A and B are shown apart, each in its own frame.
Chain A
């Protein structure tokens, strides 16, 4: 792949990226979320068309307009979210679209035979007649791999394959990948888990913010160096005022949560936030942070463990009661959860307070107060908007985020949970929001900051928890961990001399 550039709107997902893959090698592409790895692979698989750049297969230029083209050329992809037909059998899934048929009739025996052959040829064990939805996740992934092999894939791309696997299954996967490479297949592994990269890759490409920043042979590098390259270096110069933290505003103990697919999403998570401190949760997106926040805020109620907000036990309570106990929340996704695009700014600014005395009397809204509140937020946070009567969708992403942040911070509750508060917004807005968070800390509020942006965590937090694969792995005081170490831990590395509290 040469000089691939892909832009979505104002976001440059891939900026002049070139990739080279040799036969029989395992290439790992690493980077954080949003670094551009998925986009690059989507281009390779024909799901997206690049704005610039070309793809060469065996020195011949090819054009990929859709997944069919990619499959015909022998490019297969095992996606993070499986594309399987649950109620159908393993065989039916594997042979889909290229079934062996006799005059239009599906030849059950021939297809099953074929699958058995394939399965033993590559050493990938599956039960051809079992229903996919009854198979464990590891087996389902093998089905996905067999799908690509059935289509005669020479190149197989694995997109975050270990995200859904148990540790035992991950080891099996690594073995499988080595076997496939030995048999002449060329593999691309997309991941942020560096221990896996070090276990299986031949060569590593590091991507950051849409660009290719480095390329190394695995034998010549280390997980530490890779994480350093991945997460980047932005020296943090900020002296926070020393503050004595006050009483506990958030207390989480033994939080455990399972998922329908059969995996433990959160295992025995315990943490604490006190008044007047910012506690950061560092971790690459997808390691349980989202679920943790959902449990804490009451959006998810099916979990084991305890959650206390400002001293009040709100375990498994509804969102309304958790909020009433003193929680405000800046959600991860400003459009999916944080706002209603078709509603006006004033309406968006009201959410969460619509029943309070300040804005309503016996159920009737005090429209003037609502309006003044919205105007106040817009002004104080310098939201670029013509009027509070505008629709939310007319604001830019950064301004929308500012309004949402304003709404939650200005409510002046003891606990603020901020998830990715500066994702996807410009530097100016980012600085502004950071200032407000620090202001809240100064005024005695407690902030739980969840971010995959390591520099943000390092800049703002008094204490840092590192989360990986659904567990809290480490806890650090401000100043006792630097970006290198943190980066390594975020990607699953092991530190022998981790600073303990």
Chain B
């Protein structure tokens, strides 16, 4: 019953599905830590995926394409920052506007540049190189087809942990998220930190986008992101915005997606597994409050009964 080949295929698929999710949920997590409500991961990913393909097409250099992709999503992040940090507009509205706009914009430009609205691919496009493994066997099967950008995602989450929890920059960032008033009273330039955080989150989503367009296959499809940005939001929620929690959540959701593909013709249909991230978030929010309420009630009761 237990087929090792089957299993390693699932693991490999999970890792591949997980990487873009992980990048985006890390982006969401660090923004959350800095009190910036960023829901534009979809839009940033989309921008990156598109511009990397465009540059790839015109220069045939995968490295320039990667840079272009990241630059594109950072640009989007800066626009987001302008509206929600500087102008203090509603982060929800602006974020969603950016997401829907990016779909339209990329489709529009896709038509202008390449003359098609659906899928674009071209033999001259260069994909991301897959990492050649020095070993073989089961382990190699499980890590098959991963690019260094995929590995980068996991490195990024480790890096995020170190920066946030071991370096002074991370402390100050987290402090802003805990209490912006207190941080301000100590003279911290909150807006600068928030912009910087948005820029980094833009870069992370940029790497995710690059994975989508040049990772396992090299192309651009309309709506290539297909909701991953929102799943990343869910992963961020589930993982409590902690780099390691987010890693676990992303792996979990990546696994769901992988399994969803595999179990296509069995009882668990694709739509059901696709719903898992969202249902899980709702449950997590519920459970979180149930615990917090009990703690609060006890505290007040204690005061009234003491002395």
Contact = CB atoms under 8 A, between A and B. Distances in A.
On whether A and B touch (CB less than 8 Å), the answer reads: yes
B166 A96 contact: no
B238 to A, nearest CB: 19
A260 B181 contact: no
Given A67-B186, A84-B179, A104 B167 contact: yes
A260 B184 CA distance: 24
Nearest to A256: B304
A88 interface: yes
Nearest to A262: B303
Interface residues of B, number: 26
Interface stretch (B80-88, B168-176, B283-291): B168-176
18 contacts: A67-B184, A67-B187, A71-B186, A82-B182, A83-B181, A84-B179, A85-B178, A85-B179, A85-B182, A87-B178, A99-B168, A106-B171, A256-B304, A258-B304, A260-B296, A260-B300, A262-B303, A264-B307
B188 interface: yes
Interface string A87-103: 11000100011010100
A337 interface: no
A258 B172 CA distance: 33
Given A68-B187, A83-B186, A256-B304, A97 B296 contact: no
B300 A258 contact: yes
A262 B303 CA distance: 6
Contact of A105 (B167, B186, B300): B167
B301 to A, nearest CB: 8
A311 interface: no
B89 to A, nearest CB: 18
Given A96-B172, A264-B307, 13 more contacts: A82-B182, A83-B179, A85-B179, A88-B174, A96-B186, A97-B187, A99-B168, A101-B167, A106-B166, A260-B300, A262-B302, A264-B303, A264-B304
A16 interface: no
B303 A259 contact: yes
Contact of B304 (A67, A83, A304): A304
A87 B179 CA distance: 10
A80 to B, nearest CB: 12
Contacts of B182: 82-85
Nearest to B177: A85
A105 B169 CA distance: 9
Contacts of A253: none
Contacts of B185: 47, 67, 79, 83
Given A79-B185, A96-B186, A258 B303 contact: yes
Interface string B238-250: 0000000000000
Contacts of A105: 166-168
Nearest to B300: A258
B304 A85 contact: no
A260 B292 CA distance: 13
A352 interface: no
Which bracket fits the contact residues of A? 20 to 34
Q: Which of B175, B178, B187, B296 has the most A CB atoms < 10 Å from its CB?
A: B187
B224 to A, nearest CB: 37
A92 B185 CA distance: 15
A265 to B, nearest CB: 9
Given A71-B187, A262-B299, A262-B303, A85 B168 contact: no
A96 B175 CA distance: 9
A86 interface: yes
A71 B175 CA distance: 19
Interface of A: 47, 66-68, 71, 79, 82-88, 92, 96-97, 99, 101, 104-106, 256, 258-260, 262-264, 302, 304
Contact of B175 (A66, A67, A88): A88
Contacts of B188: 97
Nearest to B162: A105
B293 to A, nearest CB: 12
Nearest to B170: A106
B300 A302 contact: yes
A104 B169 contact: yes
A41 to B, nearest CB: 13
Nearest to B169: A104
Contact of A106 (B168, B178, B299, B303): B168
A496 B167 CA distance: 59
B46 to A, nearest CB: 34
A68 B183 CA distance: 11
Nearest to B189: A68
A43 to B, nearest CB: 15
Nearest to A92: B171
Contacts of B303: 258-259, 262-264
Q: Which of B169, B170, B303 has the most A CB atoms < 10 Å from its CB?
A: B303
Contacts of A258: 300, 303-304
Nearest to B299: A260
A131 to B, nearest CB: 11
A369 to B, nearest CB: 37
A262 to B, nearest CB: 5
Contacts of A82: 182
Contacts of A99: 168, 171
Contacts of B167: 101, 104-106
B143 to A, nearest CB: 31
Contacts of A260: 296, 299-300
Interface string B101-137: 0000000000000000000000000000000000000
A79 B172 CA distance: 20
Contact of B171 (A47, A96, A263): A96
A217 to B, nearest CB: 33
A417 B272 CA distance: 57
Q: Which of A68, A105, A264 has the most B CB atoms < 10 Å from its CB?
A: A105
B161 to A, nearest CB: 13
B179 A104 contact: no
A66 B185 CA distance: 9
A256 B306 CA distance: 12
A259 B296 CA distance: 11
Contacts of B304: 256, 258, 264, 304
A263 B300 CA distance: 9
A471 to B, nearest CB: 13
Contacts of A68: 187
B175 A85 contact: yes
A330 to B, nearest CB: 29
A289 B168 CA distance: 43
Contacts of B300: 258-260, 302
